[in-house]
Amino acid sequence: MPSHHDTIPIRGDRRTTRIGLLGGSFNPAHEGHIQIALRALHLLGLDQVWLMVSPGNPLKPQKGMAPFRQRLATVEQLATDRRLIPTDIEARIGTRYASDTMRALKRRFPRARFVWLMGTDVFAELPRWHRWKTFIHEVPLAVMPRPGSNAAALHGKIATRLSHSRLPVSRIRQLPTKTPPVWAFLPGPQNGISATALRRAGITESLFRTDRASHPAGDTVIARKPPTDMETERRPAAKAKTGATKAAPKAKTPKPVDPSLAEVAKAPGTPRKKAAAAGPTKETKKRPHAPADQLEKYLKIITESIDDDKGEDIVVINLTGRASFADRMVIATGVADRQIAAMAQHIERKLKEVGLKRLLIEGANGSDWVLIDAGDIVIHLFKAEARALYGLEEMWGADLDDTNEENITSL
């Protein structure tokens, strides 16, 4: 029997909606799954995300796997947004592999636009999937950052094979309408919560509680934040109580950092980087605005220079009235350290040629984040993993939100 949330007819229909598919064991479901689903709804302009609880993942051992109905129940408990649809449709149509599921869904919903959602950890494992070469031709792929797996995934077998099929960040909203094979990396915040860590810590159904006194509608409330794998491993064993009159202050546990991005995490050491990484503040100091024609002149030089150097996903953000340090922010992605360094050098040379002499460059020697301070314009040149880690577009209103479209230009 379908769950009470499941409104998906097994025989299909003629819906024309844009639908994200997030499949998995959900053993158990956690806030990381919901974060991915909600972000995909927003960035890709989806109408729904189907949270497809798998009857059994062929790549995961059955030992420690909770009963199917129990896993489905944890998804239902978390999916409070009406656009998130917990479903057992794979169990009802009798498919076990993603390629079979996609073919069945496309037959039943011939007018729907599907996108398969996954983290970089899953993206890197695609070559292990059953008929994966067929699968990537069935549905567009939306790949979300996950701690510890971004670098390997974005430079791995699948990313290399599909390098010419990657959609730039500036066009990710078009992903559901594209013909596969096609994929896009959706930069943004990373959630380190792991279902494996939750099971190790003994947190499954007890993770969530429904406080009916303060939430009469039965809204789900997080009772406690689940630990990441690294936090679980660092947790010290409980010590016996002593007769000491005052307990020593508990040392703060350092925040886990993705080793592959350790250098990136140290990056915001300059005032401009700190200000950019902090995001807009309510109280912004007023600054004299640069002449519009001068800004356009410099922006054209900067963006054309980046484009000539094969920079990707160029975004220009209007900071006027929103930041005290500049009027425009330019963000672009480079593939390698040398490319980013060359992009910075060429921008510096071209701006100096037109009379802009006071330029400051931070991080040009092998850094994943290079900042060029051109006074009224700041330029951020990132490697893809670092750009995803800091998510400047999202913080400064450049995440394709309809209310902020006047502040962003994607080139």
Same domain, 151 and 274: no
CA nearest 23: which of 93, 102, 81, 80?
A: 102
What CATH number is associated with residue 344? 3.30.460.10
Domain membership of residue 195 (yes or no) is no
Query: What domain range includes position 335?
Result: 262-410
2 has pLDDT over 90 = no
* Mean pLDDT on 315-341: 86
What CATH number is associated with residue 168? 3.40.50.620
Query: What are the residues whose beta carbons fall under 8 Å from the beta carbon of 199, sequence distance 6 or more?
Result: 27, 28, 64
358 has pLDDT over 90 = no
State pTM to two decimals.
0.55
347 has pLDDT over 50 = yes
Phi first, then psi: give them for residue 221, nearest 5 degrees: -120, 135
pLDDT at 272 (0 to 100):
64
* Angle at 49 (CA atoms; ends 388, 100), nearest 5 degrees: 100
Same domain, 181 and 266: no
Of 185, 210, 238, the position where a domain reaches its end is 185
Domain membership of residue 209 (yes or no) is no
Of 136, 165, 185, the position where a domain reaches its end is 185
User: What is the rounded CA–CA span in Å between residue 202 and residue 197?
Assistant: 9
Identify residue 158 by its one-letter amino acid code: I
Q: Helices (DSSP H) in 240-313: which residue ranges? A: 262-265, 271-278, 292-308
Reported as a pLDDT band with limits 50, 70 and 90, residue 287 is low
Domain count, the chain: 2
Reported as a pLDDT band with limits 50, 70 and 90, residue 216 is very low
Which H helix or E strand runs over 373?
strand 369-373
Identify residue 225 by its one-letter amino acid code: K
